[in-house]
Structure 1
Amino acid sequence: MQYETLNVAYAGQIATVTLNRPDVRNAFNEAMIAEITSVFTALNARDDVRAVVLAANGKAFCAGADLNWMKKMAGYSDDENRADAMLLANMLSSIYRCSKPVIARVNGDAYAGGMGLISACDIVVAVESARFCLSEARLGLIPATIAPYVIRALGEQASRRYFATAEQFDCATAFRLGLVSEAVSAEQLDATVQQIAETLCANGPQAVRACKQLVQDIAGRELNAALIEDTAARIARTRAGTEGREGVASFLEKRTPSWRN
């Protein structure tokens, strides 16, 4: 399928979705929102894809919302604004809920909605020169739609600060706060992303999907009897499953598991 705002490529079991509006610093508009939602919905259903990389062309990763799109929104009614916001929310959810692990390859600055994109990903690899900013308050707005993902990724206390101040912060700070998983030089970016993607693909595909779901389901829950029972039931199902049995057998028999063949 051909996309207007994205490039999509496949190499083995790795899919790479590349934002391709470098002339506007990969700012998103209605077309990009729709296409990102569409491609991640499709990737979610593909058994031959085990890892997804979200990348960007040009010097910036994503500058947030396109200015021309924002001008159009200024004339929207309340109902139109709600509908438009839901499209953005669904786009972010399509990344976060994708059953395949998603690696953000952050080649440059990520502002506003761009912060939402990377926060919806599972692993963030960024160049050391990248800068980050939740700039909405400067425009009299709030980062509401991206907030569920950014707060999870950045942490509550840091979000209190950067939501309200709209300060720019560097990659070292993003790494310290946990938003960025790996901070690397530009020369190391592709190799680091590739190494992580290959590591994901070497693991049991069902187990990787279940691990992603496990974190989403368990994070923030009270540690009580129901949670303990839930986790015990999950590992019991995994042990009894075809992939779990194959993984243990291959380890004991000192052979390669079937999913790597």
Structure 2
Amino acid sequence: MEFSTLTVTTAGHIATVSLNRPEVRNAFNETLIAELTGAFRALGDSPQVRVIVLTGAGLAFCAGADLNWMRRMAGYAPDENRADALTLAQMMHTIWSCPRPVIARVQGDAYAGGVGLVAVADIVIAADTANFSISETRLGLIPATISPYVIRAMGEQAARRYCLSAERFSAAQAAHSGLVHEVVPAAALDARVAELAATLAANSPEAMRACKQLIQDVAGVPIDTDLITDTANRIAEIRGSAEGREGISAFLEKRQPAWRNA
């Protein structure tokens, strides 16, 4: 894969996708949106990849929309504007629904759509120097395409505050709201992300895929007979899978499961 706005590397079973527009604080434009969508689709389909780390080059994680792109959008006809917005919405959904676990390594500030990228990740580790802002209302806009993921991550009440106020908030405040899982000193960020990625890569790839889908399907659903039946069917199916049988056998035989040596 060749990209002009991203750097994509793979080491073992861990892929790293880095936004690579540091001169504009890794802001979105149509090329970056298309390349992120393509990269996550390809990595999600790769049997070699078990974990994806999403980060940014330079000082910022992602500053949201590129100003030149926004100027072009202002001149779009309504149909063009909707089509353009849909590509951003589809990119967010592609990352959120990627079958591989996604770790956001937030080394710097995340604003607007950059907060969306944080929210679609499964696990978020941020440097204590990072700041966040859902800044759309300051520009006369609304955080529409990122809102489903931001509200799920932060909860409705925190989302009300930060989406309406557009104020800047710290990594510690982001962790308190649920948007970020861990805050670490900037000097410790790489080590913590590497440690967590290695932990994930040691797990069953198929179980992680099924677990990610399970959480997305079960979240917010009433606990009724249909859900009880569905979850029972899912555990029965994974127990009977090749990796499920291998994992139980390895545990009982006190050995490493085969996927750790694959």
Q: TM-score, normalised by structure 2?
A: 0.99
Equivalences for residues 150-169 of structure 1 within 5 A: 150-169=150-169
**1:91 corresponding residue in structure 2:** 91
Give 1:259 shift.
Answer: 0.4
Secondary structure, aligned partner of 1:188: helix
Secondary structure, aligned partner of 1:105: strand
**2:113 corresponding residue in structure 1:** 113
Give 1:124 shift.
Answer: 0.5
**1:202 corresponding residue in structure 2:** 202
**2:28 corresponding residue in structure 1:** 28
CA distance in structure 2 between the aligned counterparts of 1:127 and 1:106, rounded to whole angstroms: 6
**1:239 corresponding residue in structure 2:** 239
Gaps of 5+ in 1: none
Gaps of 5+ in 2: none
CA distance in structure 2 between the aligned counterparts of 1:109 and 1:148, rounded to whole angstroms: 21
CA distance in structure 1 between the aligned counterparts of 2:238 and 2:31, rounded to whole angstroms: 40
Give 1:177 shift.
Answer: 1.0
Secondary structure, aligned partner of 1:221: coil
What amino acid is aligned across from residue 260 of structure 1 in structure 2? R
CA distance in structure 2 between the aligned counterparts of 1:182 and 1:113, rounded to whole angstroms: 20
**2:188 corresponding residue in structure 1:** 188
1:2 aligns with 2:2: yes
Deviations 1:177-201 (A, max 9, x none): 1111110011110111111111111
**1:130 corresponding residue in structure 2:** 130
Deviations 1:34-81 (A, max 9, x none): 000010011111011000000111101000000000000111111011
- Aligned length in residues: 261
CA distance in structure 2 between the aligned counterparts of 1:190 and 1:162, rounded to whole angstroms: 28
1:100 aligns with 2:100: yes
**2:65 corresponding residue in structure 1:** 65
Give 1:6 shift.
Answer: 0.3
CA distance in structure 1 between the aligned counterparts of 2:246 and 2:35, rounded to whole angstroms: 37
CA distance in structure 2 between the aligned counterparts of 1:243 and 1:73, rounded to whole angstroms: 48
Equivalences for residues 219-234 of structure 1 within 5 A: 219-234=219-234
Deviations 1:118-163 (A, max 9, x none): 1111000100011100000001100000101111111111011111
CA distance in structure 2 between the aligned counterparts of 1:166 and 1:25, rounded to whole angstroms: 18
CA distance in structure 2 between the aligned counterparts of 1:71 and 1:127, rounded to whole angstroms: 32
Secondary structure, aligned partner of 1:187: helix
Give 1:168 shift.
Answer: 0.8
Give 1:241 shift.
Answer: 1.2
Q: Post-superposition, which runs of at least 4 consecutive aligned residues in structure 1 deviate over 4 A?
A: none
Secondary structure, aligned partner of 1:38: helix
What amino acid is aligned across from residue 200 of structure 1 in structure 2? L
Give 1:13 shift.
Answer: 0.3
Q: TM-score, normalised by structure 1?
A: 0.99
**2:54 corresponding residue in structure 1:** 54
Identity over aligned pairs, percent: 61
Deviations 1:5-55 (A, max 9, x none): 000001000000000000100001001000000100111110110000001
**1:179 corresponding residue in structure 2:** 179
CA distance in structure 2 between the aligned counterparts of 1:74 and 1:139, rounded to whole angstroms: 12
What amino acid is aligned across from residue 68 of structure 1 in structure 2? N
Two-structure CA RMSD over aligned residues (Å) = 0.6
Secondary structure, aligned partner of 2:59: coil
